Amino acid sequence: MSRILFRLTPLVTAAALALSIAGVARGQEVLDGIAAVVNNDVVTFSQVRELVAAKEKAAKEYFKGEELVAKIKEIRLAAINDLIDRQLILQEFKAKGFQIPDYFIEERVTTIIREEFGNDRSAFVRTLAAQSFTLEKFREMEKDKIIVQEMRRQAIKGTPSVSDAQIAEYYKTHAEDYGTAEQLKLRTITIRRTGQGDAKRKMIEEIREKIMGGAMFGDLARMYSEDDKQEAYGDWGWIDKRTLNESLSKFAFALKAGEVSQGIEMAGSYYLLWAEAKKPAQIKPLKDVKPEIEKGLLQLERQKQQTDWLAKLRKKAFIKMY
């Protein structure tokens, strides 16, 4: 007798969501190219294209030439492997004789219509039609999604745990991730060179002399500065080393609290920097971040168990990629 798979959880992992989008275009396999064979099932190129479309579009905005070619190859290979894993999970579900009652799927569809379409079934059906989906195909996709989700969950044996020693070791090697970087309360005066190098250099030097003589840095910034901080009296507030460009940041953070820089010539401008105050980098104590670290390590352990389980499924399967 077939067994019924139950104890479904609402959590859908990112991988399960991504894999479910592609669906199984069984009716189109004859007309579609084959990307991979997984035992007696195939992964089609249309499934791959559907899964990678958004990622490839984003890649084209950030990469060019050979870098883009390499990135797209990487994206497509990852998608094929994801689809292979998905097919192995569905096959394992079937091999174990599991079943999902039809009412589970109907409840899921009803929930989607209620929460995403304001209980308007007609709007839901029109949306499916616009995406070339039939209601039956959508039900199959949701069914596969639930199967992948639940089978992944069942791959986690028992309740994962991490020891205090593991948490302490992780904190020791990642302590910089649990704190605040060095900060500087900065004011600046910027004078554009604009083809008058000697005159502007002399101007920035004279402004510095006035400051060293007791004039208020902020007042002179309001009077002379030629950047977007002029109206704020040159005030940047509290910044870290990522706020300014790297070269200017090195000058700024080399200053002691209360120190005014010499005139700095850089990228067509002259700068005066005032380190009004400084805060050293601070690391949170282990006791404050222990729950966060424990949560992260538990998640890594769950992912490892799922990865090991998928590796076993792959080991006993026939897989060929084209």
pLDDT digits (tens, 9 = 90+) for 178-200: 888 899 999 999 999 877 768 89
How far apart, in whole angstroms, are the C-alpha atoms of residue 23 and residue 143?
A: 10
Reported in sequence order, the residue ranges of the chain that DSSP labels E, i.e. its strands, are 3-4, 34-38, 41-44, 98-99, 179-180, 183-192, 235-239, 264-266, 269-279, 282-283, 319-321
How far apart, in whole angstroms, are the C-alpha atoms of residue 227 and residue 229?
A: 5
pTM of the model: 0.61
Between 112 and 4, where is the model more confident?
A: 112
pLDDT at 2: 40
pLDDT digits (tens, 9 = 90+) for 72-87: 999 999 999 999 999 9
pLDDT at 22: 38
- DSSP label of 256: P
How far apart, in whole angstroms, are the C-alpha atoms of residue 78 and residue 90?
A: 19
Query: How many angstroms separate the Cα of 247 from the Cα of each of 241, 252, 257?
Result: 10, 9, 19
Which residue, 117, 105, 277, is CA-closest to 186?
277
CATH number of 179-282: 3.10.50.40
Query: How many angstroms separate the Cα of 148 from the Cα of each of 23, 138, 196, 267?
Result: 12, 15, 68, 55
pLDDT at 181: 87
Residue 201 has pLDDT above 70, yes or no: yes
Query: How many angstroms separate the Cα of 16 from the Cα of each of 12, 77, 151, 229?
Result: 6, 17, 10, 48
Q: Where are the domains of the chain?
A: 3-154, 179-282
Got the DSSP string for 267-281? TTEEEEEEEEEEE--
Same fold, 3-154 and 179-282: no
Residues 6+ apart with CB under 8 A from 123: 117
pLDDT at 106: 93
Query: How many angstroms separate the Cα of 252 from the Cα of each of 169, 212, 222?
Result: 35, 18, 20
Q: Residue 158, exposed/middle/buried by CB under 10 A (0-12, 13-18, 19+)?
A: exposed
pLDDT at 39: 96
Residue 4 has pLDDT above 60, yes or no: no
3-state secondary structure of 35: strand
User: Is CATH 1.10.4030.10 the classification given to domain 3-154?
Assistant: yes
pLDDT at 194: 79
